[in-house]
Chains A and B, each alone.
Chain A
Amino acid sequence: MSLQEEIRSFIVDNFLFGDAGTLNNDSSFIKEGIVDSTGILQLVAFIQEQYRVVVEDEELIPENLDSVSKVAAFIENKMKMAALVGEELEVAVGGADGAV
């Protein structure tokens, strides 16, 4: 699955109860009433666990998070930055027990 497809399926499963309806990759989560602040918390938790990136408080802006394609671009950018900086994000934390 591509990054966009993964994000999309997370959104559909968690916020649209499996019914993708009219959601396209550029639909605004807020304007379409898909996520609220609780939803953003879930989305950020998912991004951090799934892709091992850290989302800073200052990054909680619509430009980064308000559609499937924006989230995908944001994660890609984060992973690229992390690779460039050479940060070792693979801390000794198991990935399987991300208790949800």
Chain B
Amino acid sequence: MEPAVHNLLENSARIRPDKVALVQGDLRITYRQANIRANRVAGWLIDEGVLPGERVVMLLKNGIEYLAGYYGILKAGAVAVPLNCDLRVDALRELLADLHPVAVICGSEGEQLLNGIDSDLFGIRLLLIKDASGSRTPRGARVFAWDEVVTDADLPDHGLATNASALAGIIYTSGSTGAPKGVMLSHRNIVSNTCSIIQYLGLNENDVQMVVLPFFYVMGKSLLNTHVAVGGTVVVNNEFAYSAPVIRQMAQEGVTGFSGVPSTYAYLLHRSPLAAFRDKLPALRYCTQAGGHMAREIKQRLMEVLPPHTRLYIMYGATEAAARLTYVEPEMLVEKIDSIGRAIPGVTVRVLDEKGEEVAEGEIGELVASGANIMLGYWRDEIATGKVLDANGYHTGDMGYRDGDGYLYVTGRKDHLLKVGGHRLDPQEIEDALMATGELLEVAVLGVDDHLLGKKLVAIAVSLQENPSDKVLLSRCLSRLPRHKIPSEIRFVAALPKYASGKIDRAACLEASPLADPSCNGRQGD
């Protein structure tokens, strides 16, 4: 029978019951314990009448409760919907109204957030809370204490059959525009992608992954599922902002793999003792990067700074693809430094024109992916689903081309294209040119309304220098870019705003930079 996502945990619990599945500070949980706790969560949900297909929201930070909650929900046949516990109350309210969840599993942070909401408005019947403050009982919902429900007393797998095409989870994407969309992933979507990733990264039971990305984000979810599937270990550290202890813990725990988005690596390179640990990470077999385009400069610096035995995998994917679509083999990285690589096992990625025809080598089109990992659709949004899914597969919205060796390149996003003075520009090329100066930590190039040009280019940049000069930067760009692609202005800020996944929140970048009124020449008063 085709396995369900929770079968991955059950298999590892059977084969390696005493192996450590998850490390969280001083806490260690074995596969046997993890599976029993997940069974306890499942038993509770079933006893309380939760039916297959009903949504159970998780408001949990990375940790043991997340692991037990996630697999427990799936074991009960319900749909796991992990949400960011740093959401604002209004945003949470909108998502709950969209989901109508039957239950919420949370810790004290999630409880605080829920306190601002009338739970019965959204049909929430059950709350399972770790470390409840008990400050307030939400109307209409019955509250259960995690420690009473999820004990370590043995409870066998219930063994209910799960259809592989059944909905397993919904992950909300942080879209650049509009409301977040709920990506529906089936058991098959997740399991097939998990198997592909294990294959190309060569993961096995000896792998120990340092997880600093949230599990509620699709890349974090993949880290959890791949390591659980092989019987490896995940070390969760929810304090990446303090990078020094994270790197020290990587050395102590003999971490073999580390994963991040571009901002993770920018931060590690410029604000961490990574370089000083080059000789102290003998076990670090590989690092992976996904979650958006990373400047060539950062890739090159990483190859210099990481230990010589550490392989760097550049990868590409989407929430809609249950995470992963392509990767670059580390041995090809120098030659194909700007590429996103080739499709992973079980996935096909083609470059199509607007009519759905495959374009010639070197020509730009949209990257369209197909495979068992492609989502079922967006939750309760057929219009949005129809826009991205068709007979050709999933339309990523990323524009790019394929080279003579079959390697794919992303040139930018369809919806990021800017029209400036009659030219259609992609900000990625300009951001790359600015990053190539080596003077910046990170940068986002945006279009700001301009009465003459329609849009003018503004770069929001974080400098590595104490006294950055926009003139110097712009003049260096002149050797790399035609004049019409040079930003009109560079605004320096201390940091770029990010989503919880670490991706740059482009919409918030302009708000984060000093206001300048584009319709007049001078700067207006505050």
Contacts and interface: CB of A to CB of B under 8 A. Distances in A.
A47 to B, nearest CB: 11
Nearest to A37: B241
A60 B271 contact: yes
Interface stretch (A1-9, A61-69, A79-87): A61-69
Contact of A33 (B85, B276, B496): B85
A41 B493 CA distance: 11
B500 to A, nearest CB: 8
Interface stretch (B8-16, B242-250, B375-383, B446-454): B242-250
Given A37-B502, A57-B273, A60-B271, A66 B242 contact: yes
Interface string B221-258: 00000000000000000111111110000000000000
Interface string B259-288: 000011001000111001000000000000
B73 interface: no
A60 B498 CA distance: 19
A36 interface: yes
Interface string B491-516: 01111111010100000000000100
B273 A58 contact: yes
Contacts of A36: 240-241, 498, 500
Nearest to A56: B273
Interface in B399-425: none
B315 to A, nearest CB: 21
B86 A33 contact: yes
B171 interface: no
A57 B238 contact: no
A45 to B, nearest CB: 4
Contacts of A59: 244
A88 to B, nearest CB: 16
Given A36-B498, A66-B242, A93 B467 contact: yes
B438 interface: no
B256 to A, nearest CB: 23
Given A33-B85, A37-B267, A57-B272, A42 B494 contact: yes
A59 to B, nearest CB: 7
A46 B183 CA distance: 39
Interface in A4-54: 29-30, 33, 35-42, 44-46
B494 A61 contact: no
B25 interface: no
Nearest to B498: A38
Interface residues of A, number: 26
Nearest to B504: A38
A49 to B, nearest CB: 8
Contact of A61 (B245, B264, B498): B245
A41 B271 contact: yes
Interface of B, secondary structure class, is: loop
B252 to A, nearest CB: 15
Given A60-B272, A99-B468, A37 B240 contact: yes
A41 B267 contact: yes
B497 A38 contact: yes
Given A30-B238, A37-B263, A99-B468, A57 B243 contact: yes
A93 B276 CA distance: 29
B241 A39 contact: yes
B466 interface: yes
A29 B242 CA distance: 11
Nearest to B468: A99
Contacts of A100: 492-494, 514
A60 B274 CA distance: 12
B272 A38 contact: no
A97 interface: yes
B85 to A, nearest CB: 7
A95 B242 CA distance: 27
Interface string B367-378: 000000000000
A30 B212 CA distance: 13
A45 B467 CA distance: 12
Interface string B44-87: 00000000000000000000000000000000000000000110
Given A59-B244, A62-B245, A97-B467, A30 B239 contact: yes
Given A41-B462, A93-B466, A35 B109 contact: no
A65 B271 CA distance: 14
Contacts of A38: 263, 495-498
Nearest to B243: A60
B495 A41 contact: yes
A40 B241 contact: yes
A94 B271 CA distance: 24
B418 to A, nearest CB: 24
Interface string B437-473: 0000100000000000000000000100011100000
B504 to A, nearest CB: 9
A85 B89 CA distance: 49
A93 B467 CA distance: 8
6 contacts: A33-B85, A33-B86, A36-B241, A38-B497, A62-B245, A66-B242
Q: Nearest 5 pairs between A and B by C-beta?
A: A42-B494, A45-B494, A38-B495, A40-B241, A41-B495
